[in-house]
Amino acid sequence: MHKKESFFVFARSIAGRSIPDRIYLSLLYRKRMGRRPDLKNPRSFTEKIQWLKMNWRDDLLTQCADKYEVRKFVEDRIGPEILKALYGVYDKPEEIDISKLPDAFVLKVSSGCKQNIFCKSKSDMDWAETLRLLKRYLKEDLFPVYREWAYKNIIPRIICEEYLAAHGGPLNEYGFYCYHGVPRQVEVNEYLPESHCVNMFDVDLNLLENKYGSAPLQKKVTRTPQYEKMLDYATNLSRGFLFVRVDLLYVNERIYFGEMTFYPLAGLCRLDPESFDDFLGSHLEIPA
């Protein structure tokens, strides 16, 4: 079994036990990272993410982690123009009337993570399998596995949104790492049907040393007017939060809101080089 897979098996095996957060997260961290975390005086980014899970409590975290409720937050702070079209909200998969949906759409669960179902054409969709997946996703509770508090009180619902298709070009995603309302780094992903490329930059688009398993970007990222607008959006949306990654999509020369992430990869990802963990952590000030 691959090390990453064995970690997920380990995490799920202890998720249901009544273990205090500090002990539970220490066990996960040591299993995944190979070292004990300092959760009393955290220094690295991944340690500080564990601290946030244990100590940061704000109802706005729940709203903004909710794939449906966050739309109201974005509309209040920026306006509806960067939101994808919403086709429906459902409590149960059986409520979905596929005949009333456009030919292409995306289904996702409000409390989910990487549980999107992309429909490019209704004629090619296996609806029975889609219903089965949605029922499973609605039952899954992410909070016990990684103790990510923002997900704890989300009401599971299904939402149906616009499918974004790039017309002859890539779909780009900009993940702005924002600390105390200030964007400091941006993770730029380029998605094509046959490839995924990614790099991390500072906000002036100087390449940083963080390495990924995916290939690096092949084209230079430039500071266009659209980039400046995304930077402004990220600043506005992150105001008042200790940390949040604001994901914005850029496709067909238009900006769309993606999501807000408070615990990237649950803070359980080995960064390369390891010193980059401390670099990211240096921007996140933990309240006394």
Give the bridge partners for 185, in sequence order: 177, 202
In this structure, the answer to whether residues 82 and 112 fall within a common structural domain is: yes
Closest CA to 177 of 262, 268, 279, 245: 245
Say yes or no to pLDDT of 1 above 70.
no
Contact between 274 and 266 under an 8 Å Cβ cutoff? The reply is no
pLDDT, one tens digit per residue, over 246-262 is: 999 999 889 999 999 99
Q: How many domains does the chain have?
A: 2
Note down the domain range covering 137.
Answer: 69-161
Q: Residues 170, 257: one domain?
A: yes
Write the CATH number for 213: 3.30.470
| pTM across the whole model | 0.94
Residue 172 sits in the same domain as residue 255: yes
Whether residue 189 lies inside any domain: the answer is yes
pLDDT value for 15: 79
Residues 73 and 154 reside in one and the same domain: yes
The percentage of the chain sitting over the pLDDT mark of 70, rounded to a whole number, equals 98
Q: Rg of the chain's alpha carbons, rounded to an integer?
A: 19
User: pLDDT of 92-139, one tens digit each?
Assistant: 999 999 999 999 999 999 998 889 999 999 999 999 999 999 999 999
- Phi (first) and psi of residue 240, to 5 degrees: 95, -5
The answer on 234 and 173 residing in a single domain is: yes
| Type of residue numbered 127 | W
Same domain, 171 and 207: yes
Average pLDDT over residues 215-220: 93
